[in-house]
Amino acid sequence: MAAGHQRVNLHVNKKYKPSGSKSYVYLLNKYKFTPTKDGPYFVSNKAQTQGKHGEQKAIGGHTTVSRVLKKKLDSNHSGEVPADDQQNDSLYLCPVKIGTPEQTFKLDFDTGSADLWVKMLSLPRFIHQIWSTELPKSTTDKYKGQHSIFDSSKSSTFKRISSTWQISYGDGSTASGDCGTDTINLGGIKINTQCIELAKKLSDQFASGPGDGLLGLAFGAINTVRPTPCKTPVENMIEQSDIPKDAELFTCYLSNYSHPDDAPFFTFGYIDSDALGGKSPYYAPIDNSQGFWQFQSPSAVVAGKTIQRKGNTAIADTGTTLALVDDNLCQAIYQTIPGAKYDSFQQGYIFPSNTAVDKLPDVSFAVGGKQFGVHKEDLGFADAGNGFTYGGIQSCGDLPFDILGDVWLKGSYVVRSPFFPSRYVWLERDRV
């Protein structure tokens, strides 16, 4: 272990209740893809005109078309997606200290985004975001006692900067505000002048989330701060030489519900030898051109049968609970489970809850040239009612890549290095 560095222990969100369809709707919004399987949720185009209109006003402006997520209400009508139809996929939360003196917050560590926001007494947003005192009093009063709120006036190292940020999802939910910089502490590593996004406006979908904000661990290119995107905490700790030159990396170890002594954690600046367990890691190059931890995944194995997926890529995302793959692979997986079927009402595959774990298929996805498996017990994600379970692997719709979230990540110890040669992602063999 590097001097002064320690595990950042993850806390399982005790308020988290798995819901298959709600998690799927969350991903429809996060990645803005169009479903290819039948169900209540779909994407349509919405035209919006801006300009001067009305009597004695010049005619002008322009029209923009955006993709909007909607829900079928009946055979002839559709409407907006209610906040109750989705939930932020914050299964794990991490303690992060911000400011001087330090204020502690539980943040969602998300390798699928690049902002850091907190909920303040004037709200902030994900990636480098937390609850803040800049949020309207009506918002902070509504969720009083549910969140730690960042008060920048109590930090001697906080500095306001002339930047803004805004996040919007396909269902119309938004979060926006201004920014500042402060010192943050991640597992004993102090990062100076880290950009923190402070929310002034927050829709209920964001405000009702279980954590105090979000810390993004993707690449800064997709950070939402304007006019200039901010660097992520990992990029800053590398630039500031907070971690050794030969250990410019962070690692993630997610545990399973059935192993309570197998505590989940992140590390920054070192690889945990206990987690490796004496095994040799596997190396695979990543593609960060879209700002994600993306890698080649040219095949999958289902119940011993190899399925070739030429040209396929995948993203490893700790901010996602499910695993999303193409429709053909989904069908290949669930047709091996007796009684499994696609449920258009829940817009996902379900299978009988009384299916014994040892009767479920072995499923693995390739990382480069090596297969890494899903633990069988994670193939069942949530109760679907009527004696059925919502599957942990679902359709990625028209997305051109897979999204492999916690369902898959629980099976590996993952080491990510943004600046090593070829930008390798390192993964250990599946844990038993």
The pair of three-digit structure tokens given for residue 129, joined into one six-digit string: 């975001």
Q: Are residues 165 and 229 located together in one domain of the fold?
A: yes
Domain with residue 179: its CATH number is 2.40.70.10
Tell me whether residue 110 is one of the annotated catalytic residues: yes
Local confidence band at 6 (pLDDT 50, 70, 90 cut-offs): confident
**Average pLDDT of span 363-374:** 95
Q: Are residues 227 and 359 located together in one domain of the fold?
A: no
Q: In which residue are the tokens 């801006």 written?
A: 50
Q: Are residues 227 and 112 located together in one domain of the fold?
A: yes
8 inside domain:
no
Tell me the chain's radius of gyration from C-alpha atoms.
Answer: 22
- Characterize 337-364 residue by residue with b for buried, 16 or more Cβ atoms within 10 angstroms of its Cβ, and e for exposed: beebebbeebbbbbbeeebeeeebbbbb
Judged by DSSP in three states, 154 sits in helix
94/133: higher pLDDT: 94
What distance in Å separates the CA atoms of residue 177 and residue 200, rounded to the nearest whole number?
Answer: 5
What's the chain's length in residues?
A: 432
**The predicted structure's pLDDT at residue 70:** 84
- Computed from CA positions of residues 326, 331, 337, 339, in that sequence, does the dihedral angle turn out positive or negative? positive
CB neighbourhood size of 47 (10 A): 8
Q: Are residues 315 and 185 located together in one domain of the fold?
A: no
Give, rounded to a whole angstrom, the gap between the first and last alpha carbons of the chain. 24
28 inside domain:
no
49 inside domain:
no
Q: Are residues 213 and 347 located together in one domain of the fold?
A: no
Q: What is the pTM of this model?
A: 0.86
207 inside domain:
yes
* Beta bridge partner(s), residue 314: 295, 402
Judged by DSSP in three states, 205 sits in helix
List pLDDT tens digits, range 384-418: 999 999 999 999 999 999 999 999 999 899 989 87
**Does residue 123 carry a pLDDT above 50?**
no
User: Last residue of some domain: 213, 239, 265?
Assistant: 239
Q: Are residues 232 and 298 located together in one domain of the fold?
A: no
List pLDDT tens digits, range 42-72: 887 665 544 444 455 444 454 454 667 888 8
Catalytic entry in 171, 182, 242, 317: 317
432 inside domain:
no
Q: Are residues 212 and 300 located together in one domain of the fold?
A: no
CB neighbourhood size of 24 (10 A): 25
**Average pLDDT of span 177-190:** 93
**Does residue 127 carry a pLDDT above 50?**
no
The pair of three-digit structure tokens given for residue 427, joined into one six-digit string: 């993964």
**Does residue 431 carry a pLDDT above 60?**
no
Nearest to 40 by CA among 10, 81, 6, 84: 81
Catalytic entry in 108, 110, 242, 402: 110
Distant-in-sequence, close-in-space partners of 146: CB < 8 Å, separation ≥ 6: none
User: Last residue of some domain: 205, 220, 239?
Assistant: 239
What distance in Å separates the CA atoms of residue 269 and residue 421, rounded to the nearest whole number?
Answer: 16
Distances (CA, A) of 306 to 104, 174, 189, 237: 47, 42, 43, 41
**Does residue 302 carry a pLDDT above 90?**
yes
* Beta bridge partner(s), residue 45: 67
Distances (CA, A) of 63 to 171, 194, 337: 19, 37, 49
Q: Are residues 229 and 306 located together in one domain of the fold?
A: no
Distances (CA, A) of 204 to 132, 291, 346: 15, 27, 23
Distances (CA, A) of 400 to 147, 152, 222, 311, 392: 36, 41, 18, 10, 20
Local confidence band at 234 (pLDDT 50, 70, 90 cut-offs): very high
**Average pLDDT of span 198-206:** 71
427 inside domain:
no
Query: What residues make up the domain containing 160?
Result: 92-239
Nearest to 299 by CA among 314, 312, 315: 312
Q: Are residues 125 and 224 located together in one domain of the fold?
A: yes
**Does residue 21 carry a pLDDT above 60?**
yes
3-state secondary structure 362-417: CEEEEECCEEEEECHHHCEEEEEECCEEEECEEECCCCCCEEECHHHHCCCEEEEC
82 inside domain:
no
User: Last residue of some domain: 210, 239, 268?
Assistant: 239
What distance in Å separates the CA atoms of residue 126 and residue 112, rounded to the nearest whole number?
Answer: 11
Mean pLDDT taken over the chain: 83
Q: Are residues 111 and 235 located together in one domain of the fold?
A: yes
Residue 387 buriedness (CB in 10 A; 0-12 / 13-18 / 19+)? exposed
CB neighbourhood size of 289 (10 A): 9
**Average pLDDT of span 301-314:** 98
Q: Are residues 203 and 304 located together in one domain of the fold?
A: no
The pair of three-digit structure tokens given for residue 65, joined into one six-digit string: 């078309």
**The predicted structure's pLDDT at residue 267:** 94
277 inside domain:
no
Q: Are residues 111 and 232 located together in one domain of the fold?
A: yes
What distance in Å separates the CA atoms of residue 78 and residue 278, rounded to the nearest whole number?
Answer: 55
Q: How many structural domains comprise the chain? A: 2
